[in-house]
Amino acid sequence: MVTYPIDHYRKSPMTNGNHKEFPPRVNDIDTFPAIQLLYLLVTFFIIGVSWREYHKNENMKKEKDQPRKEDDQLRKENDQLRIENGKLQNEIDERKAQFKNGWQKTSLYPDWRKEFFQAVDITLDPATAHPSLFLSEGNRRVTWEEKSQDLPEDPQRFYSLPCVLGHQVITTGRWYWEVEVGTHGAWDLGICRPHVMRKGRVCIKPEDGFWALRFYKQEYWALTSPETKLTVKVHPARVCIFLEYEEGSISFYNMVDKSHIHTLSQGAFGGPLKPFFRLWPSESEPLTICPGPEAAQNPLY
């Protein structure tokens, strides 16, 4: 058997019968390792690209799933909140139904109490105002000033005390109005007979035709005979006054915390009444009557 060195195959390519040369085959022994290495590199590249795409898709899927989970959690929280709000509303409806069945026996819920009263559009009567009281804002605001006005003599005007009455005369029904009293100062609020004393010794008490509440030197008093000291936890920057004419009662509510301050009661009033306001010179701060709801305003002229 004759053997040839390997170079013989490189230098003597195979020929056919016509002695034509053929190009080298790809699987010649000297090219095999390079082809395999190329195959491996291509394979690793494909695997790397596939791995990167896989993780990219997984991350995108997680990013898509995260908002969905957050949305699901938000929906659950909203559903729970709706359930709690529904329970709270049912409880409020039950309490309101109980209040409506016996509202005259309870001193709570002034906003619900308004449904049984009419809002009255109170304005102040300049003819009754003490000379040191100045009216403004359409006769809804009263301010005390040290220098008195030079006003004509009028039998309706208060001279002994810095008081003023409302224009409105009340002879029947249930009415309410609100007054901004500020955070300091001193005042009396309530109702009185139209013909109470204006000069001389004027006493603010029911026997003299006044039914009122007083705030003076950080203390609250019901102006009964004798006066009744009251306990108020939160200063009422706004006071709501409810008048029940036929029942003979007037109630005062703190509209800051919706608490009941006091109720003055007697028999039927049996005569005309007017809203009453007083300021104290030593601790003056304006009083402002709040306009009632437009649909319910009633001038009572």
CATH code of residue 276: 2.60.120.920
pLDDT, one tens digit for every residue, the chain (301 residues): 555 554 544 444 444 455 555 555 544 445 556 777 777 777 777 787 777 777 777 777 666 666 777 777 888 888 877 877 777 777 667 676 666 666 667 778 899 899 999 999 999 999 999 999 999 999 999 999 988 888 888 899 999 999 999 999 999 999 999 999 988 889 999 999 999 999 988 999 999 999 999 999 999 999 999 999 999 999 999 999 999 999 999 999 999 999 999 999 977 898 999 999 999 987 778 999 998 776 445 556 5
Is the same domain home to 117 and 94?
A: no
Is residue 243 helix, strand or coil?
strand
Q: What is the pLDDT of residue 50?
A: 75
Q: Are strands 163-165 and 274-279 parallel, antiparallel or unpaired?
A: antiparallel
* Bridge partner list, 239: 179, 254
Q: Is 151 part of a structural domain of the chain?
A: yes
Give dist(CA 115, CA 100) in Å, integer.
Answer: 9
How distant, in Å, are the alpha carbons of 54, 127, 139 from that of 143?
A: 80, 15, 11
What is the domain extent for residue 39? Answer: 1-101
Domain count, the chain: 2
Is the same domain home to 154 and 291?
A: yes
Is the same domain home to 164 and 216?
A: yes
Q: What is the pLDDT of residue 25?
A: 53
Average pLDDT of the chain, as a whole number: 83
Q: What is the pLDDT of residue 79?
A: 80
Is the same domain home to 135 and 254?
A: yes
Q: What is the pLDDT of residue 216?
A: 93
Is the same domain home to 244 and 116?
A: yes
Furthest-apart CA atoms within the chain: distance in Å: 157
Is the same domain home to 141 and 278?
A: yes
End residue of a domain, out of 101, 119, 136: 101
Q: What is the pLDDT of residue 246?
A: 93
Give dist(CA 277, CA 285) in Å, integer.
Answer: 12
Q: Is 301 part of a structural domain of the chain?
A: no
Q: What is the pLDDT of residue 44?
A: 73
Q: Are strands 118-119 and 174-180 parallel, antiparallel or unpaired?
A: parallel
Q: What is the pLDDT of residue 159?
A: 93
Q: What is the pLDDT of residue 24?
A: 52
Is the same domain home to 89 and 179?
A: no
CA dihedral for 258, 262, 268, 271, sign (positive or negative) = negative
